[in-house]
Structure 1
Amino acid sequence: MVEQVDVLVVGGGVNGVGIARDAVGRGLSVWLCERDDLASHTSSAATKLIHGGLRYLEQFEFALVGKALAEREVLLRAAPHIIWPLRFILPHQPHLRPAWMIRIGLFLYDHLGRGRRTLPGSRRVRFAKHVTGEPLRSEFHQGFVYSDAWVQDARLVVLNAMDAVHRGAKIETHTKCISARRDADGWTAELEARDGSRHFVKARALVNAAGPWAASFLDDVVHLKHSHTLRLIKGSHIVVPKIFDHRYAYIFQQPDRRIVFAIPYERDFTLIGTTDIEYKADPSHPVIEAEETQYLCEAVNRYFKKQLTPADVVWSYSGVRPLLQDESGSASEVTRDYLLDIDTDGAPLLNVFGGKLTTFRKLSEEAVDKLAPLLGNDKPAWTADARPLPGGGERDIDALTDDIRSSRPWLPETFAWRLTHMYGTRARDLLGEANGLAALGEHFGSDLYQAEVDYLVRHEWATEAEDILWRRSKIGLRVGPDDVRRLTEYLNRRVPQGAATHP
């Protein structure tokens, strides 16, 4: 039997699931396939920020920054449990950028994107009288503070996928599109699950949201001639035990004019990144190089009293960003804007090139604006004012945490905090009627129990230990090899080996 839909989306990163959600919300039937796990590549390897990109102002990317800042407000409303405000400290080094230039840049940053609505504005800060000055080296006396937001990036992808399915989309992970043929009636795609089984999907339109593989998808799967070239840029991050004990993040200017962030991470750690390096190898499994680790250590050592060495790194990750090819000489200067290319030489083919995490919803909206009329659909855009993503119905997450703990006094505070900042109001569903930790089932180390694993398998497409430990959560920072082995054995018993689909 051949399944028939309006739109087939190839790619389960943030752009793919965003387009699927927008399209199904306008009444189109949608099928999405992802060859690995959701957010298993670029979309889980970001710096975890919802931001306008302060440094892009120097490159005169005013439209991109304005668009991203407007989206920051939309996303803060859409997912308050996984996206929350974060204040950034920019120590001033006069020989890198004069204070007047920074003040102008921050003024623009406060007012682009239809103006700042919910976040506090920028201001000067004197480190002798501010908590953020304590970790800094003595030569830093003043700087600036401004607002952006933090996001659990892979969870943002999963929640969009969950909402898409709730609205009627079909999503298959561990399912590769091995061929797509255009004919008079649309596209016929052959999909292959990881157990080798194959099936066909017939679609009126095809969306290429394959990220770093968007160009090779056209070459090797669709077999269409094209003129598009992506510039692959590897960004790497390191995680170290926390360097400072407050809730502010830092943005550090470097002698090479790049910037590096140091961000509070998972309560006990500091996230440092990112690098920007031209990348020519297979994007599937990028890894950090020793030179990148050294660069990031040196970048923060210029500012912090505590000096880092590569031996302090407890975890690192790398991702490959598929950026639009332009004439920029430096990898860090390549535009983060996107191109939506629609091919109507027969059944519609929409190609997504470039983009950044913050603007995924706007990209998705514009993509469906282009695609839907070709399919006879004139429903208006809707996601900007939609109800919150799954679990986001309570804006005060601290109050939600307190409420859950008051009804379950046996739940440790750190455990309750993690659950509400991952699942929001759905933390109550996950905990169910449990009356103690033992009632949550088998223990897999740290605060990971069987009830949560089963929830992730049942509702969030998790099939492997890495899905749970490093994408749905970051519990991997807190468990040992024996815990990973027991979790893997449990999942091998619990999860079928074919395609993973949402019930």
Structure 2
Amino acid sequence: MSENLLDLFVIGGGINGAGIARDAAGRGLSVMMCEKDDLAQGTSSRSGKLVHGGLRYLEYYEFRLVREALIEREVLLNSAPHIIWPMRFVLPHSPNDRPAWLVRLGLFLYDHLGGRQKLPGTRSLNLARDPEGAPLLDQYKKGFEYSDCWVDDARLVTLNALDAAERGATILPRTRCLAAKRLEGKWQITLQDETSGAQRTVLARVLVNAAGPWVLDIVNQVTQTRSSRSVRLVKGSHIIVPKFWEGQQAYLVQNSDKRVIFINPYEGDKALIGTTDIPWQGKAEAVTADDTEQQYLIDVVNRYFKVKLTPSDVITRFSGVRPLFDDGKGNPSAVTRDYVFDLDDQQNAPLLHVFGGKITTFRKLAEHAMQKLAPFFPTMGPNWTRGATLPGGEIANADFEGFLQQVKAQYPWLPQALRKHYARLYGARLSQVVGNSIQIADLGRHFGGLLYEAEVRYLVEKEWAQQAEDVMWRRTKHKLHLSPEQQQAFTQWFDATFVTTSPEPLRVNVG
């Protein structure tokens, strides 16, 4: 059974697929996007959670990529100040690694390449005197501090999908694209619901392959086409430990192998440490962080900090596969983080493959993708996302602290921690989560930590949460703050409330 002809069908519900679906829907095109798992379940929820220019890419002369990413850093900060915020990074200098003059030169370029406006510039630190040096070993005397931004990566994907849906797109998580073939100048696409097994067929004028690590699977198996491009899969692992320093600053340290490791404050009382760069040959969905990588990250931290981490400090660890465009470089750290398109327009049924990219440049990637497809949609709207906000980002002057004060005045009964949690995740959409509640009891069942029933129901109704893990780990990070017993109790409640009572999986289209 076929449906009405779509303008654009997007395979892949990571940041690039969601960004393209949003951009296209905002130009007036009819759009459908499918994702075989949950939104952002793959690479896009397993990043270092930074919107940054990529300081180390300057060493590889990636000036255009760094400049574009630095410009995007402030564009994104303005578009979603609830899930993206400034962070200061302390870079202690080790004389055994890169020379100080080279680091300072790199930071000078970093400050000036992207037309920085909001973020403060670099400053030199005396680590023996400045408080940022307190947790570091005494041998590190000199350092630098510079600006970048933090991002809640999985929420960034969800908000792009939500914006696309509100502009008319249909978003289908847990829906696999089994096959796509050209038929009389159109794409005939066969989909399968991963929960029920039900299949359906849709027709589209243009197909976009934004499957990330699975991009070649779509090329070879789903569309059975060819591409001259390729990707290299690189495994990046992170560990989460209790936070072991005072202050909100993050740290960037250089290891003896010239790799750099980020040590970032995370979820208030924790630290996120990563990442590794290891070629990955297996299936992308099978990737896990191993003991060797964990010890590597621990050793790097212990080389710089007074507190000595051990494996017993690791709360959890995760790993993701980055699909880097294969530019022939041998060293995984040197492989470009740029993106490349491959447009196949045979039989008047265009197919656009997306190779590579990084979370910071997703908006530009989406814009460039639509520019690439413009000849096939002569009446589509112009570029529009640069000045647009993402759902919840409708905050005056992108001033989150000012917004937080407004929330306090509007909901004085909300405890401070819960108020900040809702403000951070939902921004100006917070009222949709709280609803008509006028006291804490109105939020429904309390599952522990800051997790209440009202938030869960919002995530199911508005943000495609279909499993307990969608709520606890990707839409939020409640899992890090709940005991194993609380997690189990929540999962049992969720399954009984939403899964077993729904013969058909939820298909939310807010448009």
> 1:109-128 maps to which residues of 2 (within 5 A)?
109-113=110-114, 115-128=115-128
> 1:75-474 maps to which residues of 2 (within 5 A)?
75-113=76-114, 115-194=115-194, 195-346=196-347, 347-386=349-388, 388-394=389-395, 395-474=398-477
* Alpha-carbon contact 1:465-1:487 (below 8 Å) kept: yes
Amino acid at match of 2:370: V
Q: Which runs of 4+ in 1 moved over 6 A?
A: none
Instruction: Provide, for residues 269-328 of structure 1, a one-character-per-residue CA deviation record: whole Å limited to 9, x for no partner.
Output: 011000001111111131111000000000111111000011100011110000111222
* Alpha-carbon contact 2:169-2:509 (below 8 Å) kept: no
Counting matched residue pairs gives 501
What SS does the corresponding residue of 2:447 show, helix, strand or coil? Answer: coil
Does residue 503 of structure 2 align to residue 500 of structure 1? no
Amino acid at match of 2:507: A
Deviation at 1:499, TM superposition (A): 5.5
Deviation at 1:403, TM superposition (A): 2.6
Deviation at 1:378, TM superposition (A): 4.8
Deviation at 1:202, TM superposition (A): 0.1
Instruction: Provide, for residues 410-453 of structure 1, a one-character-per-residue CA deviation record: whole Å limited to 9, x for no partner.
Output: 32211111111111111122112212222111112211011000
What SS does the corresponding residue of 2:285 show, helix, strand or coil? Answer: coil
What SS does the corresponding residue of 1:501 show, helix, strand or coil? Answer: coil
Instruction: Provide, for residues 97-146 of structure 1, a one-character-per-residue CA deviation record: whole Å limited to 9, x for no partner.
Output: 11111111111101112x21111111211123322111111111110111
Identity, in percent, stands at: 51
* Alpha-carbon contact 1:239-1:272 (below 8 Å) kept: yes
Q: Distance in 1 between matches of 2:379 and 2:265?
A: 45
Does residue 498 of structure 2 align to residue 491 of structure 1? no
What SS does the corresponding residue of 1:200 show, helix, strand or coil? Answer: strand
Moved more, 399-408 or 27-36: 399-408
Instruction: Provide, for residues 459-495 of structure 1, a one-character-per-residue CA deviation record: whole Å limited to 9, x for no partner.
Output: 1111111111111111101112332233223332324
Deviation at 1:2, TM superposition (A): 1.7
TM-score by length of 2: 0.96
Q: Distance in 1 between matches of 2:468 and 2:123?
A: 44
Instruction: Provide, for residues 190-231 of structure 1, a one-character-per-residue CA deviation record: whole Å limited to 9, x for no partner.
Output: 100021111111000000001000011111111113333210
Q: Distance in 1 between matches of 2:275 and 2:214?
A: 22
Q: Distance in 2 between matches of 1:391 and 1:375?
A: 30
Amino acid at match of 1:127: L
Instruction: Provide, for residues 213-263 of structure 1, a one-character-per-residue CA deviation record: whole Å limited to 9, x for no partner.
Output: 001111111111333321000000000000112111100001000000000
Q: Distance in 1 between matches of 2:358 and 2:373?
A: 21
Q: Distance in 1 between matches of 2:447 and 2:286?
A: 26
* Alpha-carbon contact 1:239-1:269 (below 8 Å) kept: yes
